[in-house]
Amino acid sequence: MGPREWKYSTHFTQVNDDQAMDADDISSFDYFVYAAKFKPLFPLLMVLAASYFIILTGYILFKRSIKGMSLFLLGLGFLFLLLSGFVSNSPTVGGNIFQAFYLIGGRIAILSGALLPDAKRIQYVHEVSKAADEAAFFLWKDDTK
């Protein structure tokens, strides 16, 4: 990373320190931002893994509450859409990739959060229907003797 690019890629270092003179003065998060802009494969994998862990944590916390999990997914979806807006003006390939990832992930999370209560309700109705069919079969079977 050359000194010309430091002005545009070291926002977090500039908050902590007035002037970044050497590569040692740049924060690790700014290196991540730089890599996300120009070499996005591994930063994208890191964000994907972190998203998975966040969703898994939400599932563990809200396992018993469909409404809680639904609200968690809706919140995560809106956060992803907000992050998509932050990186939407990036002229780099990595910025466009992250925008697409956040946009698609946000839409999937919002759709999942909105449909989760209905999916559980449909699953419950299916289980009740299946149990009723089995009960009717056993009653029919006993009547034929």
Count of Cβ atoms closer than 10 Å to residue 36 Cβ: 23
Q: Residue 109: which of 126, 84, 88 has the closest Cα?
A: 84
SS3 call for 89: coil
Residue 91 has a pLDDT of 86
Quote the CA–CA distance of 108 and 130 in Å, as a whole number. Answer: 30
Res. 101 pLDDT band, cuts 50 70 90 = very high
Residue 81 has a pLDDT of 95
Note the pTM of the prediction, 2 decimals. Answer: 0.71
Run of H or E residues at 132: helix 93-143
Percent of the chain with pLDDT over 90: 41
Task: Assess contact for 77 and 109: CB atoms under 8 A.
Answer: yes
Mean predicted confidence (pLDDT) in 78-96? 90
Computed over every residue of the chain, the mean pLDDT equals 81
Residue with structure tokens 């002037």?
A: 19
Task: Assess contact for 97 and 90: CB atoms under 8 A.
Answer: no
